[in-house]
Amino acid sequence: MSKRLDLVLFWHMHQPDYRDAQTGEFRLPWVYLHALKDYSDMAAHLERHPQMRAVVNFVPVLLRQLDDYCDQFATGQWRDPLLRALAANSGETLCASDRAQVLDLCFRANARTMIEPFAGYARLAELHRRCTADGVDVSHYLSGTYLTDLATWYHLAWTGETLRQDEPLLRRLFARGNSFDASERQSLLALVGREVARVVPRWRALAERGQVELSSTPDCHPLAPLMIDFAAARATQPQCSLPRARRYPGGAARVSAHVERAFAEHAHRFGAAPRGIWPAEGAVSAPVCALLEQHGSRWAATGEGVLMNSLHAAGLAPGPQMRECMLYRPYVLAPAGTSPDASALRLFFRDDRLSDLIGFDYARRHSGEAAAQFVAELESIAAGWEQPAVPVVSVMLDGENAWEHFPYNGYYFLDELYRRLAAHPVIRPTTFAAVLESGAPAAPLPALTPGSWVYGDLATWLGAPEKNRAWDLLAAAKSAYDGVIDTLSPAARAEAERRLSVCEGSDWFWWFGDYNPEQTIASFDLLFRTHLSRLYDSLGLPVPAELAERIHAANVGGEAEGGGSMRRGSAAGG
């Protein structure tokens, strides 16, 4: 039995760029809503349990959008329709577009945990359901008071549980239930702004006192192995269909640019460069790891499936009894028969089963039982451990998406889990950086099979016709970019590079495919094509007809831009 088990809890915080590339208007609100509910609550849990340790990952494209929201709250120049609705003196003054956005977005929440528990919100939802079932044009039929009450309830539902317990204002508004007046909405708006502004300072403070290791992801969350080589997808799926474009032009240099900016922005915000990098979607390949190491990353992390595929390719695939022995240790890429460099990049691999228990199972169970069962799982690993090195168990998941499925935003589960872990005599919550500093031995990995934390492959982002078409559109835009970028002024070059980076995010490719909700696909398709069109504009080039026509058709048709199912299967968005 191991006398100690090192547990790394890794929480990943990410949202793609939801801003209209021309107007700066936010088409989807998930950045500030997750800040209000999840980034705030997750910080509060750690502040209450100072013996806990964790790794928390913030993607630069998310943090820049938080900056944008901070500016909106500071100036009152609203670029988000839901904030305009909350700030309005009367719902009757809302423009038709904002009315439509409120009615579309403000029911995009988990009904069981975020709508049905509140009688006032549930009444609004039922009225909307009955009207739409009867074919009523709700955008004109429902009153201004209905709209401002709906916007108020939506923001109340997106507050974190810690905030609800601490803020008298929230208790008053929950008790009131309806007919919220302008002064109450303004007070709620100010509270939202304060919490959004506190996000980065709170997490920086947690890092500075050594409780949290803050890591980063390449700037706009690019799917790095595919940017470098589309054929990487065939490492696990040999028959995978590839885009028509032979490659993404200059992909390795573009990934390098995303990594370089991530290091620079992280150091600027948090006072120090990150020790490690979580590649977007945990997607890795040997060239990606080499690039991360060149930029100074000490560690990277990915999914269990990548390790198993890599071991299998090397003829080292473990049987069921050997899975834990192979999984619970850091690795270093080193050809067979060579000694790994002590300073080489360390790779950590996610325990998929334990991570998914938190992400998909525990929301349906009593919080105390779920926390106790998770700790028992770790105790069982320690009891069966026979290796000389301390086991390192890596539990990694989104730090924002699971909690809306839990009662009370996961408050009681995380509170009990952290309490048990912090006091445990064998389990030591720690960070990847601390594991490296402890001198934990790394096992050599002869080769790395390209893959991600989603089933260990790259099929979520390439292979389906819609995904491949998106890559072809992006590759064509990059070729156009390469053709004129050197002719632009420095300011124009910087603007074009910024727009290109946003287009290279992985999220656009994630959503394309008929297994996702139709409305969500439409929303992300419109955003992606709009970003590409604005890239052409910034280059001084005509927008290809296919992009311009699809965007015009969507806008004329009044296509809804709701959040739909959130990444990783959520009911809300983002």
Residue 513 pLDDT > 80, yes or no? Answer: no
| Burial label, 95 (beta-carbon count in 10 A; 0-12, 13-18, 19+) | exposed
Backbone angles phi, psi at 12, to 5 degrees: -105, 125
Q: How many CB atoms lie within 10 A of CB 361?
A: 14
C-alpha–C-alpha distance, residues 428 and 424, integer Å: 7
- Going by the DSSP 8-state scheme, the letter that residue 54 receives in this structure is E
Q: Is the pLDDT of residue 569 over 50?
A: no
Amino acid present at 148: T
Mean pLDDT in residue range 396-423: 97
Strand pairing partners for 55? Answer: 10, 213
Task: Name the residue with higher pLDDT: 551 or 164.
Answer: 164
493 has pLDDT over 90: yes
Say what the pLDDT of residue 556 is. 52
The candidate with the shortest Cα–Cα distance to 509, out of 219, 243, 235, is 243
- At 501, which amino acid appears? S
What pLDDT band is residue 549 in, cutting at 50, 70 and 90? Answer: confident
Residues 332-364: pLDDT tens digits?
Answer: 998 766 776 777 999 999 999 999 999 999 999
At residue 552, the pLDDT reads: 60
User: pLDDT tier at 1 (50, 70, 90 boundaries)?
Assistant: low
For 444: left if phi > 0, alpha if psi spans -120 to 50, otherwise beta; the answer is: beta
**Helix H or strand E segment including 552:** helix 545-556
Backbone φ and ψ of 52, nearest 5°: -75, 150
* Residues 324 and 384 sit within 8 Å (Cβ to Cβ): yes
Give me the chain's average pLDDT, please. 93
CA atoms of 355 and 548, how far apart (whole Å): 42
Mean pLDDT on 404-410:
97
Of 357, 403, 565, 355, nearest in space to 40 by CA: 403
Quick check: 190 pLDDT over 70? yes
Q: Give the whole-angstrom CA distance, residue 551 versus residue 80.
A: 20
Question: Which stretch of 170-179, 331-340, 390-399, 476-485 has the lowest confidence by average pLDDT?
Answer: 331-340
Average pLDDT of the segment spanning 446-474: 96
- Asked whether the beta carbons of 4 and 50 are under 8 A apart, the reply is no
d(CA 83, CA 136): 26
Closest C-alpha among 368, 380, 441, 436 to residue 408 = 368
pLDDT band at 548 (very low <50, low <70, confident <90, very high): confident
Judging by beta carbons within 10 Å of its beta carbon (0-12, 13-18, 19+), is residue 74 exposed, middle or buried? exposed
In the block, tokens 């080292």 appear at: 316
More confident residue, 563 or 40: 40
Q: What is the pLDDT of residue 171?
A: 97
